[in-house]
Amino acid sequence: MTAPPLALLAELTHRCPLRCPYCSNPTALTRPGEELDTATWSRIFVEAADLGCLQIHLSGGEPTARRDILDLVRAASTAGLYTNLITSGVLLNGTRLDALAEAGLDHVQLSIQDAEPTSADRIGGYRGGHAKKLAFAHLVTEAGLPLTLNAVVHRQNLDRLPAMIDLALELGAGRLEVAHVQYYGWALANRDALMPTRAQLDAATATVEAARTTHRGRLVIDYVVPDYYATRPKSCMGGWGQRFLAVSPAGRILPCHAAESLPGFDFPDARTTTLRAAWEESEAFNRFRGTGWMPEPCQGCARAEQDWGGCRCQAFALTGDAAATDPACALSPHHALLALALEASDRAGEGFTYREPGRLPQPAPVLPLA
């Protein structure tokens, strides 16, 4: 019997006023007319709770671009789910936030692009966005809602990580996610301009470790490092089809938010399939679940049930084969691809291909091993 998932990531829309070049949305964005309607999402929330989910993360794009966001928050809360809104904050004011809280919102996760306003607005591709985010953060704490600050870090802002930690404290956040860019979607296309240097990574790790000690009891700091400097893969999403599931704006039921990038899958459609059937019975969820699918050297590895073979989307992005051993593992025959990618980023400039509807960037190439 497959254990139930802990949480559902509900990607309500791909619409967003920001144009972040590291966005994990697929490069082919869902049009508004293709999005699931209110009634379908409300049914999905009930199914998630019945399946055993405890939390729902309302995401996008920018979830508050949906006119029915109050109805969706209310539906998720009524279903008995802990509701977390993952937002840029630039479309919300105090009145709207109060209405969301009254509808049952439990938590806000606010993204920032930098601590320095000019850089933050350049990275997000939205003039005045940073100031709006700070104003919204104050509204969240004034409303008595828990606030998590999500700082996506990379080569072009990582040197200001200490200032981002100070900003989280100033805004009254209880949690800070220091999340190095993970290279899927638009981030993969911009990999060379985003990849940090080894010196930056080491400095950031030391900064986080020191801040965790200094601010213990006041600020929880989560830290997600880039796999390209790793020797062992991370347990991506707690293992394929083991702890989380996602639903895309168009209704695809996915083991993770990036799985749409994988070819050769027939992902279940939430319009015609229940979450339970997708989770327990679908070939797509079962293909990489557990350890039986693993190739050598994963098969029989002592860490097989710790990292679950690493990330399938990353394996595909780097090797062209979703079933390959994640190159983040030093034992992978493809591990040298990471070094080639790092060398390419060392020669790159700082220009971005911004996330825009209808614009399809050139993906980062699969680098052949010599």
d(CA 278, CA 80): 21
Could you tell me the two tokens for 7?
């949480």
Q: Consult the annotation and say whether 20 binds a ligand.
A: yes
298 is in an annotated binding site: no
Contacts (Cβ under 8 Å, ≥6 apart) of 276: 47, 50, 51
C-alpha to C-alpha distances, 257 to 24, 77, 137, 233, 329, nearest whole angstrom: 8, 22, 26, 18, 22
Closest alpha carbon to 18 in 89, 93, 73 = 89
Which phi-psi region, left, alpha or beta, contains residue 104 (left: φ > 0; alpha: ψ -120 to 50)? left
C-alpha 97/C-alpha 90 separation (Å) is 12
Number of Cβ within a 10 Å radius of residue 207:
18
Residue ranges in the chain assigned as alpha helix (H): 38-51, 69-78, 94-103, 117-124, 129-142, 161-171, 185-189, 191-194, 198-214, 275-281, 283-286, 304-307, 312-319, 336-346
The answer to the question of whether 329 is labelled as a binding residue is no
User: 358: left (phi > 0), else alpha (psi -120 to 50), else beta?
Assistant: left
Task: Specify whether the CB–CB gap between 322 and 287 falls below 8 A.
Answer: no
Per-residue DSSP letters for 285-337?
Answer: HHTTSSSTTPPTTTTT-TTHHHHTTS-HHHHHHHHS-TTSPPTTSTTSTTTHH
Contact 272, 44 (CB under 8 A): no
Cis ω on the peptide bond leading into residue 196 (within 30° of 0)?
Answer: no
Collapsing DSSP to helix, strand or coil, 352 comes out as coil
- Between the two ends of the chain, the Cα-to-Cα distance in Å is 44
Q: Which residues are annotated as a binding site for [4Fe-4S] cluster?
A: 16, 20, 23
> Binding site: residue ranges?
16, 20, 23
